[in-house]
Amino acid sequence: MQNYTAPLRDMRFVLHELHGAEPLPGQEEFSVELLDTILEEAGKFCTEQLLPINASGDLEGCTYENGVVHTPKGFKEAYKGFSEAGWGALNAAQKYGGQGAPETIAKLVEEMICSTNLSFGLYPGLTHGASLALESHGSEELKDFYLPKMVSGEWSGTMCLTEPHCGTDLGLLRTKAAPQNDGSYKISGAKIFISAGEHDLTENIIHLVLARLPDAPAGVKGISLFLVPKFLPNAEGRPGARNGVSCAAIEHKMGIKASATCQMNFDDATGWLVGTPHKGMQAMFVMMNSERLSVGTQGLGIGEIAYQSAVSYARERLQGRSLSGVKHPDKPADPLIVHPDIRRMLLTMRANNEGCRALCVWVAQAMDRAALAADPVERAEYEEFVALLTPVVKALFTDLGFESASTAMQVYGGHGYIRDHGIEQLARDARIAMIYEGTNGIQALDLVGRKLPANLGRSLRRFFHPVSEFIEAHSGHPALGKLVQGYARAFGALQLATAYIAEKGMSDPEEAGAAATDYLRLFGLVALGFMWVRMAVIAVDKMGGEDAEFYQAKIVTARFFMQRILPQAGALLFTIKAGKAPLMDMAEAAF
């Protein structure tokens, strides 16, 4: 059985105590009390409506027949309730019927959705991403017509990038767009791996499709973005004639089986240009960057339910006796949780989850600040911070989410490997997050190849400066000085690795490429460490209050992270400094 209770206390701590309780200018209506109510209600919906159909949805999966896709039992009812309650409209623009809630609260709600039913979350998640791209680059006519229905959940959205012969290298795509006299376009081509490309949850599906115009230059500079509805809306704004869009098949996948992953054909389908010709990647990256942060949240969500399930099992399962002496003499054996190695696994999951949650909200808060900033310089600073951390959040969180699912399975032993407890589903569902929206290797290359050198390295200041200031201010902390000093050494390793990559990568791109994945993990661990030392300082100051048990657990978990996880930073630095030779010296024919 999958065990989950929304971690509301930790969410409130991160939202209000770590990152500040006061609403940002422009978000005054979202008071502390309202944000807490949103979290509570989201927790109820997710545990009562989404979790009960998670395992059954995985077992049943989506079915395909004659171009029609049916979602598993209970999904249509859950989606109806989800939309009617306004969860899909939570952080959408009020102009189009959304609630305009902060990204900080939206990301925490996303985490709960992903913990309780990752497959379900992909349907409204893709719609939100498509809405952002359309809102950022679409014409006023397209936005006014389509966005209210997408925000309400009446219509859903997709992103159609990948083709059978090209995934990451979108410059190779072949889908064509032929201009028509009425200003529309005829879209022809095939796309694969399209999440939510066809389903029975909404009355219409709005596809955002990358394609080439007849005069398009080669490569990514020749890609345009088009809006292509499944049904062409009639004069009343309702779905009318079927467009030239069809689902040829659904993929038979390792996980997320209740999410329809489709092979889509576009046969002279009518579409409309979003943005300007040959600038489709600019528009699509609005959606892709949003989705990358959301995919990172998927890893966190899986990590949380894996942890909670493992803790529940470790408390109940009786195996062996404690190494320090019998703890439960009235029972034939002690529970698993008394054993050091079980605690190592549980604390690793917990420390990673709570650190990721804190980092996620920090990035989401920067997104809010960027959107609300009146000063263009201030806005640019927050945008640079978000851009720098996006590949870290996507790759690190999904890596750790899969590791947590695997670790939870280890806690369960053989009972985790069989279907009965639902742990093997978590491992299967988590695995895709490391692949889609740009594989984690691509995220690492993006970090070292684009984000580090961007603006002559200026983006790094958005992270490095607050970390340096914190270390300087708290190295002499009476209770946590040694903890902060230990963190400073890990931060120093990150600085040395950054300088090494900057020097070597400038003359040899393969050096940067060889270091990329290890550097992203190093950066990510240092970012989590920053969250943990900050949380520890807050917890120490509040130890004498009513919630002493919560703050004591924070301090213990912080010390575990700093002493048992963060020391990996030193090994990662040595690995990075080994350079490309260990990877590139092997002759291709020898593989």
State the DSSP code for 96.
G
Sequence-distant (6+) residues with CB within 8 A of 319 are 333, 334, 335, 336, 339
CA–CA distance, 440 with 401 (Å, rounded to integer): 13
CA–CA distance, 66 with 155 (Å, rounded to integer): 22
CA–CA distance, 95 with 182 (Å, rounded to integer): 28
CA–CA distance, 369 with 372 (Å, rounded to integer): 5
Q: Containing H/E element for 224?
A: strand 224-229
CA–CA distance, 415 with 407 (Å, rounded to integer): 13
Sequence-distant (6+) residues with CB within 8 A of 436 are 193, 195, 295
CA–CA distance, 287 with 125 (Å, rounded to integer): 10
CA–CA distance, 575 with 172 (Å, rounded to integer): 34
The one-letter code for the residue type at 493 is: A
437 in active site:
yes
Sequence-distant (6+) residues with CB within 8 A of 25 are 372
The one-letter code for the residue type at 517 is: T
> Measuring CA to CA, how many Å separate 370 from each of 111, 380, 570?
22, 7, 34
Q: Which two tokens stand for residue 522?
A: 């190093």
Q: Which two tokens stand for residue 88?
A: 């899909």
Alpha helix stretches (DSSP H) within 200-336: 280-316
Catalytic residue among 33, 437, 469, 472: 437
Per DSSP, the residues of 135-195 read: HHHS-HHHHHHHHHHHHHTSEEEEEE--BTTBSS-GGG---EEEE-TTS-EEEEEEEEEEE
User: In whole angstroms, what separates CA 343 from the centre of its chain?
Assistant: 27
The one-letter code for the residue type at 56 is: S
Return the closest-CA partner of residue 46 out of 113, 101, 140, 103. 113
**Residues 426 and 306 sit within 8 Å (Cβ to Cβ):** yes
Would you name the residues annotated as active-site residues? 437
